[in-house]
Amino acid sequence: MRMKKALVTGGAGFIGSNIASALLKLKVQVIVLDNLSTGYLQNVQTDENALFIQGDVRDDLTALQALRGIDTIFHLAASVGNRRSFLDPMADSEVNVLGTLRVMEAAKHFSVSKIVYSSSAGIFGELKTLPIREDHPLDPDSYYGVSKLAAEKHLWAFHKMTGVSVVCLRYFNAYGRNQRYDAYGNVIPIFADRIVKREKLIIYGDGEQTRDFINVDDVVTANLIAATSDRSGIYNTSSGEAITINKLAEMMQETDEARVGVEYAAPRIGDVRHSRADVSAIGRELGFQPQVSLKEGLRDYMQWLRQDPISLDRIAEQSGE
């Protein structure tokens, strides 16, 4: 399937902006839809093939405006994170579930041919078996996991009822360029922010919990493959390798040559103990294989962070410089 015009919801955010940039390099016309609640206008490229719409996926008129003439949707707009969902479960479901339904209805109206949905490993909850296959029991431990699972189920039902091709990519822990500090977000930008400020890294629990990280360049590749494939399906999308948070803290300090030390705090509600993806299905059926090692990805991310004016302004402001 060849893309001509694509919509990227949440396209001013971390992963969405990287997907939009990759599409523009392929000379695909791109519509970026984002309400800028967590995204950044600076992430949106100025290009003759790009159009930015500031709006919310929960608004049906906005969704209809954004989808006119679109053949492919990359749906990333979301309220992200376990802690954020715990503090405001209503907003979490409004964005993640109702927003997805709005996009689906608009996609049906305009006869969109492909939807690639950014899902989450948060749908699994505490693990029964490792590594996690796609058929692992779905028992989320957070409102966020519940809302992402609900959106997945809606999209898959939409696929079965309409015949529209749908691919759901279940990211584990994505990191990389354009990912800025968020107190509710991924551990890597949180650690990176503290390293740059020369503050101790805070680890919740004993640090022996494990996570499976994937670089955003690999996430983008998976999205492009999914969009151009003639398949529909639900796939784990990660590196397939696990690392403890203690080891991650050590690696990140070594990468930046900064020994800031570690401080331990009580475990957080909704955090699973272990996580590692079985990525054999996406490799077998879509031909996707992750290419960026964690060591290489962390080095590149720290280099990007030290050149990002938004992050550096925030750090300087917090440091009183």
> What six digits make up the tokens of 222?
């998976």
Of 40, 117, 143, 144, which one is the catalytic site residue?
144
Residue 160 has φ and ψ, to the nearest 5°, of -70, -35
144 is known as an active-site residue: yes
Residues 294 and 302: their CA atoms lie apart, in Å, by: 12
Q: Angle CA(215)–CA(216)–CA(219) in degrees, nearest 5?
A: 100
Contact 112, 163 (CB under 8 A): no
Q: How far apart are CA 85 and CA 78, in angstroms?
A: 11
Contact yes or no for 142/126 (Cβ under 8 A): no
> What spatial distance separates the first Cα and last Cα of the chain, rounded to whole Å?
51
Residue 319 tokens read as 């440091």
What is the distance between the alpha carbons of residues 130 and 137, in angstroms, rounded to a whole number?
12
Instruction: Mention every residue, 6+ apart, whose C-beta is less than 8 A from residue 302.
Output: 192, 195, 252, 255, 256
Please report, as a single letter, which amino acid is at residue 113. S
Q: Which of 161, 191, 213 has its CA nearest to residue 258?
A: 191
Residues serving a catalytic function are 144
